[in-house]
Chains A and B, each alone.
Chain A
Amino acid sequence: MSTIATSPATRRAPAQTAGRQETTWVVTVTVLLVALLGYFYFAVPDFRGLGASGILALSEQFLFTGLIALGEALVIFAGEIDLSTGAMASLSGIVMAALWQQGLNIWLAVVVALVVSALGGAVNGLFVTRFGINSLLVTLGTQFIFSSVATAVGGNSPPYNFPKSFVNLAGTGTVGPIPNQLIGFAVIAAAVWLLVARARYGRGLVLIGYNRAASRYSGVNVQRTLFGAFVLCGLLAGVAGIFVSGYYNAARDDIGDSLLLPAITVVVLGGVDIFGGRGRMSGVIVAVFLLGILNQGLLIRGNSSLTATMVEGVVLVLCLILKIALDRRAGVRLRELLHRRFAVARAPAAGGP
């Protein structure tokens, strides 16, 4: 965001303050994650008893949520939202399984499923960019449609018991102590992080969420960037669907339904502003593990899954209160700075490039 200021006098301070806020939050989430791991490790014997490989294997329980969160974050960065990701994950798993049942090679089926999910994302993107409809509404509608299609494709008894090679690679296999899914997630997360934090595309994406008009004036192709975000979001949800199916060795038409809200929780916990334009992808990636470890740790501690879910909700609220408090403290500084800078130099600041 430092690129949008107009004069040398205004370039640094406000942007730096906003950037510092975001960094503070990533650090906060990381500290929370470390503290949480420490707590579970030292206070919960069963958690310690898992050993390193066992703790790493826990990630298989929440990485598919993380994949959806990565895609969701892309869309939320741009100030939009995608409610259809959960249904999309179900659809992708079901399409893959159904094609495999029809005799198609499982890997080809995976490719087709991913193409289908990217196309589903494209449909969302088309409605949002071409017809200019609020993404919340579009994806609310398509969510219902995708989930119906998944039920229809799946039929009465959705397939299960996939080939060993598939279940091993995309599901429960490991390389040494490291689960394959964790490796896959790491690669994808790194790519998405690069895309947002280091690539021109990501800059444009976040700028769109920050100020759509300004991004257009600075030469960002808003329509194409947004469209791309929805396609990527659909694609990542599709990958999540494959991961889930591989992990459970079965496909179900409602398997993704429960993934949407935790994914949005992760994005918000990661410090991304729900209205777009602010946040860090690194925060989202850390938050995937924060929420996942919290959930799994509570389960191992002997809490019921419903307690774990409730605690997630409480943690979300507490983290947001903390974030609002941190932001406000920084916000006062920011406002003072803005006031001081712009009170004298309003004219040049008002005109666009």
Chain B
Amino acid sequence: MSALSPLPVPAAPAEVPPVLAGAGFGTALGLLRRREVQLLAAILGLFALCTALHPQFGVSSNIAFILADSAIIMIVGVGQTIVVLGRGIDLSVSPVLGIAAVSIGFPASASNLNIWLGLLIALLIGFGLGIGNGILVSLVGIPPIIATLATLTIYGGFQFIICGGYSVINIPAVYTNFGSANILPGVPWLIVIGAGVVALAYLFLTRTVTGRSVYAVGNNADAAFRAGIPVRRVLFTTYVISGVLAGLAGFIYLAQIGSATSTSGSDGNTNLMSIAAALIGGTTLLGGRGGPVGTALGAVFLSEALQAMISFRINELWDPAGVGVLILIAVVADRRGSPVRHMLRPPLRPPAKAIP
């Protein structure tokens, strides 16, 4: 192996971005096999069904609510997706979100912190805490699930300390107006930010060397290393990005909810919901497959499904169960050789080689 000189980035065919690779994009059948398309159909189908049964479901304010409600999970989920693509996991996003929310919340309510400065601080906090995760995973070499489990408790402690028993209330109207404003009827500003994050993440993953390396590392870190990819640096970057996006989500949380406490982030189960959005969006926890677009649709679908449960008068206590069932459906559908995949498999292609 030592005879091989380090290669540049693996030569993925330039015209097929890795996110779309192996999708059989050309045929209608191939399109149907893509999780993004399935999800979009599910979102529209559910919307049509609910609107037919409850006309109130289709009004623009409800659409705006669903979209705005999905923004936080969408943004955190995109960060989570990038980490998961590198075969990692980030369990510490909820306290990062919470710390960002309370750290800008207190100065904002006490001394009217400039909103742009607040945004900057939130991003910097996410950046710093993401570096902490990155060091533990990529430099020290602790398995990601354990490293971020540890930082989950440590960062959670920071959040409590920052709060010191107080909660953030009385946010300046600049923040809350931003959180509730619509750019068009039915299209809140928050979802525009979410879409922007998704677009940037998509460009990052498909058009930059580091972004493509994330897929390579997630597929096979050993092979990526031998191909000359700086595996540790790539992994480090994924955790920093996840941290920054969680920080951004903290800012949005503050603007949207208008308050923050020592349990913000954790109480909404942001960790698991972000992983759920990624899974439902077709990103596998084994790394190397999936992408931010699916995650974004997954977040919208989750939000829509929960809203649909409300309109069908299903008791709120079954919300988690709804999320759980969606996760199970997503993973069963994703399984190699599952009936769904089998039906949608394009003809004339040999079945995937089974691993004995």
Q: Which A residues are closer than 8 A to B by beta carbons?
A: 81, 127, 131-134, 136-138, 140-145, 147-149, 151-152, 213, 261, 264-265, 268, 274-275, 306-307, 309-310, 312-314, 316-317, 320-321, 324
Known contacts A148-B320, A149-B321; A313/B150 CB under 8 A:
yes
Q: Which residues of chain B come closer than 8 Å to A274, judged between CB atoms?
A: 143, 145-146
Q: How far is the CB of B326 from chain A (nearest CB, A)?
A: 8
Task: Report yes or no: A141 in contact with B157, Cβ–Cβ below 8 A.
Answer: no
* B318 touches A (CB below 8 Å): yes
Name which residue of chain A comes closest to B321, CB basis: A148
Whether A324 contacts B332 in the complex (CB less than 8 A), given A140-B327, A145-B325, comes out as no
CA distance A149 to B331 in the complex (A): 21
In this complex, the interface size class of chain B, counting residues with CB under 8 Å from chain A, is: 35 or more
Contact A133 B324 (CB under 8 A): no
Whether A137 and B142, one on each chain, are in contact in the complex, defined by CB atoms closer than 8 angstroms, is: no
CB atoms of A148 and B285 under 8 A apart: no
B315-343 vs A, Cβ < 8 Å mask (1 yes, 0 no): 10111111111111001100100100000
Tell me the smallest distance from the CB of A284 to a CB of chain B, in Å. 14
Question: Chain B binding site: helix, strand, loop or mixed by DSSP?
Answer: helix
CA distance A131 to B279 in the complex (A): 17
In the assembled complex, the Cα of A224 lies from the Cα of B179 at a distance in Å of 52
- Least distance between A328 CB and chain B CB atoms (Å): 9
B276 within 8 A of A: yes
Q: Given contacts A145-B324, A310-B153, is CB(A317)–CB(B276) below 8 Å?
A: no
- Whether A306 and B157, one on each chain, are in contact in the complex, defined by CB atoms closer than 8 angstroms, is yes
**Is the beta-carbon distance between B321 and A316 smaller than 8 angstroms?**
no
Contact A133–B335 (Cβ < 8 Å): yes
| Complex: A149 Cα to B321 Cα, angstroms | 8
Q: Is the CB of A313 within 8 A of B327?
A: no
Smallest CB separation, B106 vs chain A (Å): 18
Are the CB atoms of B142 and A127 closer together than 8 Å?
Answer: no
Tally the A-B contacts, defined by beta carbons under 8 Å.
118
**B149–A316 touching, CB < 8 Å:** yes
The answer to whether B154 and A152 have CB atoms under 8 Å apart is: no
Please indicate the chain B residues that have their CB under 8 angstroms from the CB of A149 in the complex: 321
B325 in contact with A309 (CB, 8 Å): no
* A313 x B153 contact (CB < 8 A): yes
Tell me the smallest distance from the CB of B299 to a CB of chain A, in Å: 16
B contact set with A: CB distance below 8 Å: 136, 140-143, 145-147, 149-154, 156-158, 160-161, 272, 275-276, 279, 284-286, 315, 317-328, 331-332, 335, 338, 356
**CB <8 Å contact, A317 and B317:** no
Q: Which of B145, B146, B275, B335 contacts A132 (CB 8 A)?
A: B335
- Asked if B321 and A306 make an inter-chain contact with CB atoms under 8 angstroms apart, the answer reads no
Report yes or no: B157 in contact with A148, Cβ–Cβ below 8 A: no
Q: Give which listed residue, B141, B272, B315, B321, contacts A140 with CB less than 8 A.
A: B272
Q: Is the CB of A144 within 8 A of B157?
A: no
Are the CB atoms of B157 and A309 closer together than 8 Å? yes
- Residues of B within 8 Å of A148, CB to CB, are 317-321, 324
Q: Are B285 and A261 in contact (CB under 8 A)?
A: no
- Cα A306 to Cα B160 in complex, Å, equals 7
A133 close to B332 (CB less than 8 A): yes
**Pair B143/A275 contact, Cβ less than 8 Å:** yes
Report Cα–Cα, A265/B321, bound state, in Å: 26
Contact of A309 among B141, B156, B318 (CB under 8 A): B156
Given A144-B321, A152-B315, A152-B318; 10 other pairs, CB 8 A cutoff: A141-B326, A141-B327, A144-B324, A145-B324, A148-B318, A148-B320, A265-B149, A313-B153, A316-B146, A317-B150
Whether A261 and B153, one on each chain, are in contact in the complex, defined by CB atoms closer than 8 angstroms, is: yes
